[in-house]
Structure 1
Amino acid sequence: NAKGQTPYAVCPDKRTRNEFRNFKGMHPDKYDYSAAQIPDALTEEMERERSQKQAEKQREKRRLHREKLKERKAAEVQRQQEEQEKQRFLSLSDREKRALAAERRFAKQLLETNGAHVVLIRCFMCGTDITGKVPFEYSENKFCTMNCVKEHRKKPQTNRV
């Protein structure tokens, strides 16, 4: 053109520039490619390698995205559990709150004196230690999670204590 630019230099996109490079690879002696400022020819191997790199980048990007979603979901679950725990604590009567605080102090004192963990309350369904936590209560039984309460409710009446 009038500015002295080569066709390769004024190509609007990478796809067109790659066509010039492909042509150079198919016809290496046809033109003076250095005067046309066309870089090394593209081979099928180079194309395959480039596409593999791009695919690897995409896989890594998707993996990172999934990890971020997992972390966000875990943080949201944690926040919801803390909120539920807070609401359960706020719904307790003052007497229950004082009793819970006394249990925590007692457990802490036992830990400090003999170093062993003392279990004061266990989940009625799964037996998990719920000492120091505000348990879910149903039919005078204490449970660690709503899932344990649901499982207990699903059991037939004859199995219940």
Structure 2
Amino acid sequence: SSLGHHDIIEYLLNHDADPTITSIKNLTPYDLAKDKETRNVFRRYMAEHMDKWNWSNAHVPIEKSESTSSASKKNGSSISGKSLDSSSSLIGLPAEMRTRIERERRARAAEVRLNAMQNRGTPKPLTLPSIGNVICNVCEKSLVGLVPFEICELKFCSTVCVKNYRDREST
């Protein structure tokens, strides 16, 4: 999906390719999608096959109905494809689904913030402020219950992550 071949993606999905499989960096094919058309292939397939996969694990957001999206365009309430009022797209959904979607939105926002922090410059040990847990600087896995590998105040969960960090820093 990172190459933007939406015809191939559609073919693979129709032949039971699992969209919930993640990469080493915990990114799903939807996360790696190059452009909007590629992401739309996943959304359309999800709309047709809602029960086939756990779409929240695939990171595919719930598609708005055409009437909702056209109404938001008329009102001018969308900025770069995102609704200003996030709760408006949740109307009519069961409470459990709404809480899942809101949790997913918050998790994605946290991921964006963490990635922005890491890309600013010298990486620093990451801690989750509410719990105080330290996480691995490469794979962001929790280090609770582990004795971390430390290099220059950076913490890693395994020697594989240390190697990946050193490889990334040497380039």
What TM-score, normalized to structure 2? 0.27
Q: Tell me which protein shows more helix as a share of its residues.
A: 1
Q: Tell me which protein shows more strand as a share of its residues.
A: 2
Determine which structure has greater relative contact order: mean sequence separation of CA pairs < 8 Å that are 6+ residues apart, divided by chain length: 2
What TM-score, normalized to structure 1? 0.29
Q: Between Structure 1 and Structure 2, whose CA radius of gyration is higher?
A: 1
